[in-house]
Chains A and B, each alone.
Chain A
Amino acid sequence: MGTELLVNLSYVAAAVLFIFGLKMLGSPATARKGNFVSAVGMFIAVVVTLLDQSIIDYKWIAVGIAVGGIIGAVVARSVAMTSMPEMVALFNGFGGIASLLVGWAALYGMDASTFQMVTIVLSILIGGITFTGSLIAYGKLSERMPGRPLVFAGQRFFNIALIIAIIACSVLFAMNPDVSLYLYLVIGLSCLLGVMLVIPIGGADMPVVISLLNSYSGLAACAAGFAINNIILIVAGSLVGASGIILTQIMCKAMNRSLSNVLFSGFSAVAGGGGAAKIEGEAKAMSADDAYYVLEAASSVVIVPGYGMAVAQAQHVVKELQEILEKNGAEVVYAIHPVAGRMPGHMNVLLAEADVSYDLLLEMDAVNPRMETFDVAIVIGANDVVNPAAREMEGSPIYGMPVINVDMARNVFVMKRSMASGFAGIDNPLFFKENTRMLFGDAKEMLSNIIKAFS
């Protein structure tokens, strides 16, 4: 019994470290230490588990850890910062499949009570949804599959039927644990559900989906904890589950949409087809040289980055321009919309990579009140998050979404590859405003040209 007490006390210590680690992740100054503290907690939990008496053979454990450790370390070291969203999605999926497998393996080796059967089914179910859902999110984010919502006729009906089938199979399996067919059906159908839930969601809504899947992976671990009666899984899993839900809420609020609207609006797109009024007018293009003259005279500049900055890998050039403008005596700040990019905080990570001080990154609510005071607002590859239609046009699909009001700055430069509408397929009246100038082309090239003009 001595070992068991030691194991459980160590789990308490690990839980304390996770909690402190998460708390320290809340401030930029302590975040790195916090991550380390939580890693120490994980290390303790793993090491004491290895003392468990029911473990007879360490051979396969060693194989699993070696394979997983090498893959994880190599990927984590080599991934580019711009690919971070798909990377998080992928890791998330691996967490999900691991919980599925743990739940499945728990079937063998104990006489499961009905309660345990229910929790085993839950961990398989949530794990499966997390796994395939994350893989689809990975596919969309890495552009291995089309980022637009994939919808087909009868999709809603199909999904409802699928959910009913899953519930039926789960109940049948929980009552007849010996019938493997039900088990395979539950696994297969929940994996299918994960796919079906994510394919109708468009790339711009991915921040919400990733946060939600993150929450699911925690809940899956939590369910697996109930299945194998392990407290640390329950505690850590529910901490992650709760944090994922909070992030999801923050993202939804930033888009002024409900969670169900984000998850299911892909369906209505087929029926509705959008009803926004056409915007008439002419966009005025501008060359890098002309942009230079304006920037040279500007004393305050706000930069609004979006997904386009990530695509063009332009974060380092942006930083270069910031330094030049600062040397020229201008104040430069960044305005970051909560859902800019493809995951929560995506832009912040990219700018941090380019060595931009984090106190220059302002949130939308801090910038909007003083927008009139900026001489120039430079929009780099952002579209929907600066679209004034959200304020002005009641018919617009994004009406009511809080946006960065760049159109109120004295001059607006929009760097964009073409006149195509943004991800949401909504026209942007910003491009036709009196004070807006368009700089067409690759953002990185455009910025380099402006920088050249300065030297």
Chain B
Amino acid sequence: MKYRTYIAILLIGVLVTSCSDFLEPEPSSALTSNNYYTTSAELESALIGAYDAIQGVGDFDKDENHGVQYEFYITEMRSGNTATKIADPDDFSDAGQFESFNVLPINGLVGNYYDSYYEVIYRANVVLDNLGNVSDDTSSIEAEAKFIRAYAYFNLVRLFGDLPYVDHVLSPLEKEAQFTRVDTSIIYDLIVSDLITAEAGLDNTYKTRASKAAAQGLLAKVYLTLENPEYAKAQIMCEKIINDGSFGLVDFNDVFYQELNQEIIFAVGFNSLNDSQTFSSQFMNSVGPSSGVNYATYDLVDDLNEFGGIRAQYSFRQDPNHLTSVRYQCAKYFPDGDDGGTTNPHTFDISPNPRLAGNDWIVLRYADVLLMHVEAIMAGANETNVGAALTSFQQVRDRAGLTDAVTEISLDDLLLERRVELAFENHRLFDLIRLGRAESTLSAYSVANGFGFTASDLLLPIPQNEVNLSDGLMTQNPGY
């Protein structure tokens, strides 16, 4: 009895005294966003995080953001350039909705891209909100973060139209900002101002990170896309890149298989072993989880064969494994282990895992800039014969082996040249819209294939998830 009392007292004493320090620990291993960013190196790590959001996660988990890896679904597969391997009018799978212009607001791939690119914007905003916490000169970091934010917004605004305007890190209470869609012109004002800052504050050190030339090229495209295009400013931006002399055209196949070559202005970098992307395998026959997506339409193949010059052989190839019909695959981004299709049936004998692919995603390359230069000089007219435009256009065609002298370029010539030059690179839909040919071209394509295109299909639906979360704040696009 006596002992028990002593033991009890002792235990109580131990408990009381021992707790005092444990319950108020100094956080030594945990960092929060409030106290983390104090040096420019730490801000730079946040910038790398924003690039990571553009890359997305290299798997097929529907709960992960896949960033640029899913972009082809919502751009190229909606442009008449590509489709699923076996078109099925009753295919209500997410991937099958794009080619037939029957995208549903619950489409997971659309939702994934929307989430991914707002994640990019969020991460860029984290950097921008913390610039004031760092005493060093942060002007280049600011420029880089603004480039990333502008790049993300430019893609979103072209795909979805009016958007929530998020120019800082939102607190949980800012529901209005999160879900109220503002006019595209306000979004474009932010994009232009961000890119002007980026252009002034960057140099041409990197190709897989923002650079001065990348900002100039993107700004040129933004100027051409505006509701009232700024053609002269776009031309000046293109000429800054052209006159810089650091960029040029390379062998067409090398554009895609010699990474960071002279033609690349901005690319999203991947590495096959520890940072692999998934789109390369998805473009193949049953290598990814699908049986094959982003296959060339006959419409595209016909144009490439007739007008592409040597680009045809480097842009697509007949699927060597699919034997019941003739289908064509994208040849610009073969994954690891692909042997170029010389064996039939197709084998992947170089690497044991053809799902791995380190091919960079090219966002902006010199040929695009040369063709934008032509577009800027054409300045909304239906044709041009200005010497500077002819020179730029001729360079692109010469590289493709089409050396006959060009004396006049019509708007449709330009659109066709962009199609065969930039096939599979997610430009076609935006080109058609920007140059005012989307309705006529896609209607004709839709009628020829029995699809249901209407003009409201040019904008994607706002993901249903966002509309539901907004408690009625968020409006849906027409036609959905």
A, B co-complexed:
no
